[in-house]
Amino acid sequence: MRISIFGAGYVGLVAAACFAESGNTVVTVDVDEARIEGLKQGIIPIYEPGLKEMVLRNQTEGRLSFTTDAVAAIQSSLITFIAVGTPPGEDGSADLKYVLGVARQIGQAMTGYKIIVDKSTVPVGTADKVRVAIAGELALRGVDLEFDVVSNPEFLKEGAAIDDFMKPDRVVIGTDNVRTAELMKELYDPFMRKQNRMIVMDIRSAEMTKYAANAMLATRISFMNQIANLCERMGADVAAVREGIGSDSRIGYGFLFPGPGYGGSCFPKDVKALIRTAEECSYDFLLLKAVEDVNERQKEVLADKLINILGVHNDQQPLRGKTIACWGLSFKPRTDDMREAPAITLIERLLNAGATVRAHDPEAILEAKKLFGERVEFSHNQYDILDSADALVVVTDWNEYRNPDFDRIMTALKTPLIVDGRNLYKPNRMAAAGFSYIPLGRSYGGISEVK
């Protein structure tokens, strides 16, 4: 099939590469001329494992191209995906100006039957607005052309997006038209060779499914972080608790790891948007408000621990003269995405408390420099930042941090203190090695200060 995809961001690029990989002819459209020129030269603007190789291969083989010419892209394709950003407004609602802008362009340029697919994460009712925008432009032109609008939400995990697209848990298609459903099934058939995981439903239910999925996952994360905080106070081990509840088939193990809070481009934005959507329907979504509140508080936990242990009490800058080494900047491993990352809250708190902050991340240093500039010392070597530091804090669970050289860490640190925001290490092993080890959700022997 011939496909056009509007938006050369995370979702658009992954979808374009994967559709081209399955034999379709795909043109990706973006208004950012510099981004398009870079993509034509093989410069991928985001880090996602396997994406660069797939993009380059399909460009070379002629199935994938990039352009700023929206009209040509629309007129050359049967299916047009809208995968542009929906940034949160001041009230938390999703801003649809880019989605509806593309819809109007489609109405202005289309010359025959077309399927328009909402791939962006959008509120319930957006497909109706897209349909009205296209119909309005057709009316201004005085033409009557048939088209269908489909909701096809994405369920990609950053760091595993290629696998998620090529081997999906499910593909949700929202449409009221049987013919359109069959065309979408044909498009996705190469990804369903082992098992048919296509779910066809009405459009509004498809739009709600995306928000409901992310809200559920965010809820599990906030719930487990609350359990972890309670475990610390009661002398329980959250790792054992997770094993105990996760073994229940009704619950499972996924998204039950305690940590410094969720971040990224999806969970924070989608939780806010669903709360706002509920408010527009005069419904008070109390649970999600609590989920959001818990997450914001959880982002403060690592800084609280460091200040309580190392800080000078009753001082406006309790960590003045202290150096903190941070392992991890991105909101999760295998991505350079720092949007809403817990590391941002942590580092700002540490800097405001007077600390010198050094940081390492396998992929996100360039993004972090945009945020912190010269206020933070960065290194591409995870051990270089440890020299004479007063503590090491683990923020992101990159594989590089899972089994480090503890002897080297012990020698480098001024104080053998590790605050582990991801519970990567065994407390008994850390104690035997001589570390003051502060995990989440585990009693750590009543350590109150390490001066």
Sign of the CA dihedral running 15, 16, 21, 26: positive
Query: In angstroms, rounded to a whole number, what is the distance separating the alpha carbons of residues 215 and 338?
Result: 20
Integer CA distances (angstroms), 95 to 87, 90, 209, 351, 418, in order: 5, 9, 19, 33, 41
Burial bucket for residue 305 (CB in 10 Å: 0-12, 13-18, 19+) = buried
Task: Sort residue 122 into left (φ over 0), alpha (ψ -120 to 50) or beta.
Answer: beta
Query: Is residue 326 annotated as a catalytic residue, yes or no?
Result: no
Would you state the torsion angle of the CA atoms of residues 148, 77, 35, 345, taken in this order, to the nearest 10 degrees? 30
Closest CA to 438 of 263, 228, 272, 244: 228
**Alpha-helix residue ranges (DSSP H) falling in 159-202:** 161-166, 178-188
The order of strands in the sheet holding 171-174 is: 64-67, 25-29, 2-6, 79-82, 114-118, 147-151, 171-174, 198-201
**Integer Cα distance of 48 and 44 in angstroms:** 9
Cα distance between residue 81 and residue 12, in whole Å: 8
CA-based angle 255:204:119, to the nearest 5? 65
Catalytic residue among 18, 231, 266, 326: 266
Spatial separation of the C-alpha atoms in residues 432 and 444, rounded to whole Å: 13
C-alpha separations of 150 from 13, 86, 218 in Å: 19, 17, 26
Which one-letter amino acid corresponds to residue 359?
Answer: A
Between CA 437 and CA 428 the distance in angstroms is 9
Token pair for 12: 């658009």
Token pair 């972890």 is found at: 228
Phi/psi of residue 5, nearest 5 degrees:
-130, 120
Distance CA 263, CA 127 (A): 27
Write out the catalytic residue numbers: 266
